[in-house]
Amino acid sequence: MVIDQQRDPQIPRSAFRAPRLSALAGAPEAYNYAFLDEVSKREIRRALLKAVAIPGYQVPFGAREMPIARGWGSGGLQVTLATLGPGDTLKVIDQGTDAGVNAVNIRRLVERTAPGVATTYSTAEATIIQSRHRFPEESLRADQIMVLQVPLPEPLRMVEPRESVTRQLHAEADYTRVWVHLYEDVITNGEISRASGYPVMVNGRYIMSPSPIPRWDIDKLHQSASLTLLGAGREKRIYAVPPHTNVVPLDFEDYPFRVEDFSGKRCARCGATDTYLDEIIVNGGGRLYACSDTAHCDERVSAERETRNAE
Active site residue 75: no
Residue of 75, 76, 233, 291 marked active site: 291
Active site residue 297: yes
Between 12 and 271, CB nearer to Zn ion = 271
CB of residue 290 to Zn ion, shortest distance in Å: 6
What value does the CA radius of gyration of the chain take, rounded to a whole number of Å? 22
Between 61 and 276, CB nearer to Zn ion = 276
> Read out DSSP for 186-253?
HHHHSS----BS--EEETTTEEE---S-BGGGHHHHTT-SSEEEEEETTTTEEEEE-TT--EEE--BT
CB of residue 155 to Zn ion, shortest distance in Å: 32
Between 38 and 279, CB nearer to Zn ion = 279
Between 150 and 272, CB nearer to Zn ion = 272
CB of residue 97 to Zn ion, shortest distance in Å: 12
Query: 34-61 burial, b if ≥16 CB within 10 A, otherwise e?
Result: bbbeeebbebbeebbebbbebbbbbbeb
CB 229 within 8 A of CB 57: no
Active site residue 100: no
Which amino acid appears at position 33 of this protein?
Answer: Y
Taking residues 255 to 274 in sequence order and writing x for each that binds Zn ion by CB under 5 A, - otherwise, the string is ------------x-xx-x--
Active site residue 71: no
Q: Assess 297 for contact with Zn ion (CB under 5 A).
A: yes
Q: Is 255 helix (H, G, I), strand (E, B) or coil?
A: strand
Residue of 26, 100, 270, 286 marked active site: 270
Q: Which of 291, 292, 294, 295 binds Zn ion (CB under 5 A)?
A: 291
- Residues 6 or more apart in contact with residue 107 via CB below 8 angstroms: 90, 92, 98, 119
Active site residue 270: yes
- Residues 6 or more apart in contact with residue 100 via CB below 8 angstroms: 93, 94
Can you give the binding site for Zn ion, defined by CB under 5 A? 267, 269-270, 272, 291, 297
Tell me the catalytic residues.
Answer: 56, 267, 270, 291, 297
